[in-house]
Amino acid sequence: MTEPLRLSKRMSELGLCSRREADEWISRGWVRVDGIIISELGSKVLPHQHVTVDRQASAEQAKRVTILINKPMGYVSGQAEDGYKPAVVLVNGASRWKEDKSVQEFHGSQLRHLVPAGRLDIDSVGLLVLTQDGRIAKELIGEDSSIDKEYLVRVQYHHGAKLPDSELRRLNFGLSLDGKPLKRAIVKWQNEDQLSFTLREGKKRQIRRMCEAVGLKVTGLKRIRIGKITLGDLPTGEWRYLNIDENF
């Protein structure tokens, strides 16, 4: 890579922040390239140039929170739609899990710019990540993300007594959606009517569409893990902070 590229994109590639945060920091004069303050949006840099951020940026970033919520059915992950409420409305002082070990105190400003890093369908439940930190959003849903996600999926089979082993193998590898082959998954039976899915991608309604392709109907879907973070005993409709010693 020898061509110049936007400073905001380079900062995102370096893991310093998200592109949105980068533009904000650049406009505030918090970004330096080879020791020189760069405050013009759209500025470009070469890959060998040294990019640093001032302490104000690092201090502001440290204040940003990441929240783990056990999303109930009937809530959308992001913006309100079709009369359904977004999961963020569940985040308040009263719904914080009593066993949350974080020393972080809740206040309303933490709801600003709190966005889902990944989604769960309205009829799916389980672990949902809401974050103010662009680095975490990039880690979980960026193009280069390698974080896997685990789901428990209750199913019914409509073409016989039991799903053939050949179709189970197709769920693991061999299906395509939207004209593109899916990445290899880990799909196995948990019991006679429940599968576990471990995926490294998250196309819209992917698991439901995968199941439809092999004759399965999904009757329940719950996300129980994202990377190293598990849902654990977090009650439905409650939330906790991602601790500083935790990572995905």
Question: How far is it, in rounded angstroms, from Cα 157 to Cα 214?
Answer: 9
Catalytically annotated residues: 121
Give the helix ranges, DSSP H, for the chain.
7-13, 19-27, 55-62, 134-141, 165-172, 206-213
Supply the DSSP symbol for 96.
Answer: B
Kindly state the tokens that stand for 5: 């590229």
Residue type at position 7: L
Q: Phi first, then psi: what are they for 215, rounded to 5°?
A: 90, 15
Q: Are strands 36-37 and 125-131 parallel, antiparallel or unpaired?
A: unpaired
* Separation of CA 198 from chain center: 14
Question: How far is it, in rounded angstroms, from Cα 7 to Cα 157?
Answer: 52
- Residue 201: which of 229, 180, 217, 220 has the closest Cα? 180
Q: Where are the beta strands (DSSP E) in the chain?
A: 5-6, 31-33, 36-37, 44-45, 51-53, 66-71, 115-116, 125-131, 149-157, 176-177, 180-181, 186-191, 194-199, 216-226, 229-230, 239-241
Question: How far is it, in rounded angstroms, from Cα 24 to Cα 7?
Answer: 12
